[in-house]
Amino acid sequence: MRKTLLLLVPAVLLGGCTWGINPDPGSNGVRTVWTGDVSGCHDLGKITVSVMDHVGPFDRNDIKVRDELQVQARNSAASMHADTMKPLADPVDGSQPWEAYYCGNHPVGSSAPPPIQGNPQSQPQQPAQAPQQQGGGFQTYPTKGG
């Protein structure tokens, strides 16, 4: 019992670590596009980032690993003068590829229907949509295998 407790204490303490990965100035201006068309954007190149996904025999929290990968990718994209990035695949063994883009004012992944031409009085009223988040913030991820 005592040996098990001695092994669990470091795992719990290390499980909360963020390993010092912090957003760089300017990286909050880089938005993440999870789905959507980026064909109107200028492709700036591929970014591959990696973090530790396990400590010894212990796996780190998947959400923390994904968050750290996104922060690193956003930092790299900002240094490339990109304003948009998109994951190319799911993380594998703590590594994930991303693509960096410069989109300027080009709307990415816009699912809004085109405006109706004709009499503006006859256009149906559309409910207000939440603004698209630009950089920063929290992101939820699907669980493994789901």
Show me where the domains of the chain are located: 32-105
CATH of domain 32-105: 3.30.1660
> What is d(CA 91, CA 97) in angstroms, rounded to the nearest whole number?
8
Residue 137 identity: G
What pLDDT sits at residue 7? 52
What pLDDT sits at residue 114? 39
**pLDDT, tens digit, 9 for 90 and up, residues 62-95:** 999 999 999 999 999 999 999 999 999 999 999 9
DSSP-assigned letter for residue 92: B
Does the reported pTM lie above 0.75?
A: no
Q: How far is CA 120 from CA 63, 104, 111, 114, in A?
A: 46, 29, 21, 14
